[in-house]
Amino acid sequence: DSGVTQTPKHLITATGQRVTLRCSPRSGDLSVYWYQQSLDQGLQFLIQYYNGEERAKGNILERFSAQQFPDLHSELNLSSLELGDSALYFCASSVAPGEGQETQYFGPGTRLLVL
């Protein structure tokens, strides 16, 4: 157990819908990262928050957004869902994105299926 929690574990929804994925980082970690894992694209970095502020952006679609709250948990919002959004979504956390503190610990993931 990495100490990172994610809910829900599984999510089945329809095209065009909107869903919210939740992540709680390890105690003491200030950084949260979101990744999408699909069969053909591997682990793709989406976005990072550090202490409530957006820190880095990767291949995140405009239909997707995220935020980190004062208690440091994070939510990833996916809207206007398409079949191709079906994937495993992982959250990871680290103490800080700095030298010696950047080890990222992954949560168990949320498996999203869009029908």
Partner 1 sequence: GENVEQHPSTLSVQEGDSAVIKCTYSDSASNYFPWYKQELGKRPQLIIDIRSNVGEKKDQRIAVTLNKTAKHFSLHITETQPEDSAVYFCAARAGTALIFGKGTTLSVSS
Summarize as ranges the residues that interact with partner 1 (CB under 8 A): 2, 31, 33, 42-45, 48, 50, 55-56, 58, 90, 97, 99-100, 102-109
| 43 vs 115 by CB, closer to partner 1 | 43
Q: Residue 18 Cβ, how far from partner 1 at the closest point, in Å? A: 25
Q: Residue 84 Cβ, how far from partner 1 at the closest point, in Å? A: 18
Q: Residue 60 Cβ, how far from partner 1 at the closest point, in Å? A: 11
Q: Distances from the Cα of 67 to the Cαs of 8, 32, 114, in angstroms?
A: 17, 10, 22
| 2 vs 17 by CB, closer to partner 1 | 2
Q: Residue 83 Cβ, how far from partner 1 at the closest point, in Å? A: 21
| 83 SS3 class | helix
Q: Are 96 and 33 in contact (CB under 8 A)?
A: no
Q: What is the DSSP letter of 60?
A: -
Range list of β-strands (E), the chain: 5-7, 10-13, 19-24, 31-38, 42-50, 53-57, 64-68, 74-78, 87-94, 105-106, 110-114
